[in-house]
Structure formats: C-alpha cells, structure tokens
Chains A and B, each alone.
Chain A
Amino acid sequence: MNKKLLFLSSFLFLLISMNCNSQKSNQYIARQGEMSFFSYTSAENIKANNDQVLSLIDFSTGEIAVSILMRAFKFEKSLMEEHFNESYIESDLFPKASFEGVIQNLDPTHIGTQTRIVKGDFILKGIKKTLEFKIDINKIGDVLSVKGEVEILVKDFNIKIPPLLSPNIAKSIQVTFNFDYSEYEN
C-alpha cells in the first residue's frame, strides 16, 4: 500500500515537474534578424547585410542560439559577394555560422532595456571560438528585441587573404546585429 502510494506520488511529481518545465520555457524566435558586418581600412570600406538570421532565445534560462546563412550576406558589389562566398568563407563547404551562448545574469522579470554580457561559442568555417560581448535586451510585454556588436578577428577563422588584398580587408571585422523576436510555439 505504502509502495503503491509512493509510486503514484512519484509519477505525479514527474508529471508536475515536466509540466513545470514546459510552462517555464518562455522561448522567443527571430526569423528575420538583421546582421551587418563592416571592414574599415584606409583603402576600402566593405559592408554586407543579412536580413535572414535566425535566433532563438530562452528567456527563463538566458540561453541564446543564432544561425547565420553565409550566402544571405548581400554586398554592394556583386563581385565582392562572389569572392566572399567563393574564396574567403567558402560557403559551399561551410554554409552556416552559428552562435550558442548564455546571457549572464539575465533578469527575466525586468521590463525595458537591460545590458548584459553574453558568453558562448561562435562557429565559423568549422572553427569554434569562445566570444564574450555586450548585448542590449529590450523586453516590454511580449515584444523582445536584442541588439549588440561584436568584433571578429579574421585570423581566428582560417580566412586566407592574399598579400595583395590585405590592405583592403581589415584585421578585425565589426559585426552588428539587431533581432526582433516573437513568441515561439513548440
């Protein structure tokens, strides 16, 4: 009798705990996140935009994931876009870049903007690097947006720049992003 009760109660507990989890999962998705990168040198300024970046954020745990389709970056000069995909990023072999991290000390109950540090792994061209950068999280009701800036070093990701072109491409690339999220239905 006692054992039966215990079993039943444990089963109930399990159910409740699982239920708790799904209720707690307040996840948000950005399907058309904007991301730009800039390379400033005295010889040439290069800029590219991508407005198809995917991102998912778990507001209860502070986890954030970003998936970037490399060929969706658009350049002013079509030849640059070709070189970017064909020679530098090799988007045939590495179609996507991704980021997976945790927002440190995220306050899920905070209304308005909070600036937090996010720390996680960025994978580009199959190379994983730990990045730490500041982001602004703005949440009012169900409206959530995240924006920020991060610097990427070209040499970290096996991007080979021929000596002739090295004055035209910056050593560190500035990446800015702005994601608008909506509630994610599992």
Chain B
Amino acid sequence: MKIRLYYVVFLILISMGSQQLWAQDLLSKLVKEEVKEPSYAMSTFKGNRLSIGHSVETRKKGALEATFMSRYWNTIEESNNNFIADRMCARFGVDYAFTDRFTAGIGYGPPNGIADGYIKYRFIRQGIEGEGSPIGVTGLQTATYRSRQLTGIENRDGFFDRTAFTTQLLIARKINSSFSLQISPTFVHRSSSSNPIDDNNHFALGFGGRYKVANHVSVVSEYYYVANELESIETYGAFALGVNWDVKNILLQFTMTNNQIFTEDTFITQTSRNFNFKDGNFFFGFNATYFIQL
C-alpha cells in the first residue's frame, strides 16, 4: 500500500513536471523562430565627415544635410586685436543621400574660393553578430576647382589647371559600440604644378578613430600620412583631434587641427604647418551639420 502511494505521488510529480517544462519555454521557442536577416553595423561614425576628412558613413535615402564648416586661427605677424581670431575661412555645403548607399555633395568656401563636389558609394557594409563582412568599405571621389587667382603650388591659368581630384577608399570597422577605426588609402591628383619638381600625383594613407565618451558625444582623431610629399614646400601630415556632439537634428564638430582648407586634395598634401598650439600653427575648427529628411 505504501509503495503504491509513493508511485502515485511520483506520477503526479512527473506529470506536473512535464507540464511545467512544456509551459516555461515560450520565449526560448521564439528564439528558434527568429528569421536571420542580414543586418549591418549602424553608426560606425556619426556623420559624413569624421572631423576634417570623410568617414565610411553615408546617409540614409532622402537625407539632406546643410553643412557649415569653419576654421579660425591667429597669425604670427599680426597683433591679436581681432575679435576671436585673426583669420577665418569657411565652407558652405549641401550633401544629399540619393540611396542608402549613395551620397553626393557640393560646397563652396570663401575666402579661398574653392568649389568642390564629391560622390560617395558604400561598397561593403559591416555585418553584426559575427556575420557578414568584418569591415565596411566606402569609395569616395572628389573634385575641386580653385576659382580665385592666387599663387599656389598649382598653375591657375586654364580652367583645367585649377582642378584637383581625390580618390579614397574608406575602410572602417566598428570594433564595439563605442570604438571605431578607419584606414583610408588615398590617391590625390592635381592637374598642374607651378614648380616642376612637384609630382602631380600623391599617395597617402589616412587613419581615423572615434571613441564615444557619452551617448551623444564622441572624441575623434585623424591623421594623414603622405608617401610622396611636395618638394617645393615643406609639408606635414594633416592631424585633427576633435569632439563630435549630436544635438537633435544638428551635428556639431569641434576640431583642433593644423590646416585651414576643407578639401581633401589640399589638406592631405599641402598642410604646411606642424600641429602645435602656437599662433600660426593652431587652427580651431567648427562644423555644424543640419539634418533634414526629405
């Protein structure tokens, strides 16, 4: 009799147990139902530009961005009686994303009078959760035209002499949610050189990184190494250290750098000052990008 009772209790327990097992698994059953769709790493960087140069990012279809870029600096020659800084230069630009992968932009910068345009296409998007590509690759092609008659390292006689072109392959990896790195093999072609010892073609390698210090704030840095530098003037690698802050529809970028021109062909190959905090060498950059969804 006793044995029988044990059996009954045992059976009830087992049947209850099996029921329990049955019921608790709803969520884990759902995990099995998940459809694996290819998904890509988002926001390797926050904007089209890392700080002075382009980033691997393109915007989503229909995104229109109005950008204001500026640099401020003091000169050694003059006394610092001016408001904020002795010199400044700016670039006004518009960037539009035609598709999720294709972005193009144009800009014009006073007082240098450099007009520029670029197209950017995202070839490879970085996958997530160990699937897909470990890196993202974007191709960039820019063209610039110098509208003002100034002395430069290029000839400014004919229309074509005033142009320069930059081709970049932007390769980046979002290593974790706050840290991303970028490396960018670069080819710069300048249509003319005023000094015959200068090569019209330059090869360079860009390095960039960002570290997110808060959800809306990141620290960014860039450096460009030029393999065959200009011979007629002494040049240094372009360097930038800055902070990116996104506020609502606006991305604010604050940069400390050693050059004042916004176009790739110029700042990569023609940065004539080393990076330090002395007047004449220190350039403060401020960019504001306003986002509009069309």
Please give the distance in Å from B224's CB to the nearest CB on chain A.
27
Q: Is B31 an interface residue (CB 8 A)?
A: yes
Q: Total interface residues on B, using CB and 8 Å?
A: 38
Q: Is the CB of A83 within 8 A of B7?
A: no
- Check A54–B33 contact: CB distance below 8 A: yes
* Interface stretch (choices B15-23, B72-80, B106-114, B272-280): B15-23
Give CA–CA (A91, B128) in the complex, Å: 11
User: Any chain A CB within 8 A of the CB of B152?
Assistant: no
Q: B42 touches which one: A82, A160, A162 (CB < 8 A)?
A: A82
Interface residues of B (CB under 8 A from A): 3-4, 7, 10-11, 14-15, 18-19, 22-23, 26-27, 29-31, 33-35, 39, 42-43, 59-63, 128, 176-177, 215-216, 246-249, 291, 293
Interface SS, A side: mixed
Identify which of A6, A58, A90, A93 contacts B4 (C-beta below 8 A).
A6
In the complex the two chains form, what is the Cα distance from A17 to B3 in whole Å? 21
The 5 closest A-B pairs by CB, nearest first: A78-B60, A65-B26, A87-B215, A17-B15, A92-B177
Interface core residue of B27, B31, B63 (most chain A CB under 10 Å) = B27
Give which listed residue, A76, A82, A86, A165, contacts B247 with CB less than 8 A: A165
Give the residue among B61, B248, B249 with the most A Cβ atoms within 10 A.
Answer: B248
User: Which residues of chain B have C-beta atoms less than 8 A from A14's C-beta?
Assistant: 11, 14-15
B42 CB contacts on chain A under 8 angstroms = 71, 82, 85-86, 91-92
Residues of A with Cβ closer than 8 Å to B? 3, 6, 10, 13-14, 17-18, 21-22, 25, 27, 29, 31, 52, 54-56, 58, 61, 63-67, 69, 71, 76-79, 81-83, 85-88, 90-93, 98, 100, 160, 162, 164-165, 168, 184
CB pair B215–A88 under 8 Å, yes or no, is: yes
B216 pairs with A162, CB closer than 8 A? yes
**How far is B33's CA from A56's CA once the two chains are assembled, in angstroms?**
10
Q: Which of A52, A56, A79, A85 contacts B291 (CB 8 A)?
A: A79
Q: Residue B26 contacts which of A13, A64, A87 (CB distance < 8 angstroms)?
A: A64
Chain B residue numbers with a CB within 8 Å of A78 are 59-63, 293
Q: Which residues of the partner chain B approach A165 to less than 8 Å between Cβ atoms? A: 247-248
Cβ–Cβ contact A67 & B60, under 8 A:
no
A124 to chain B, nearest CB (A): 14
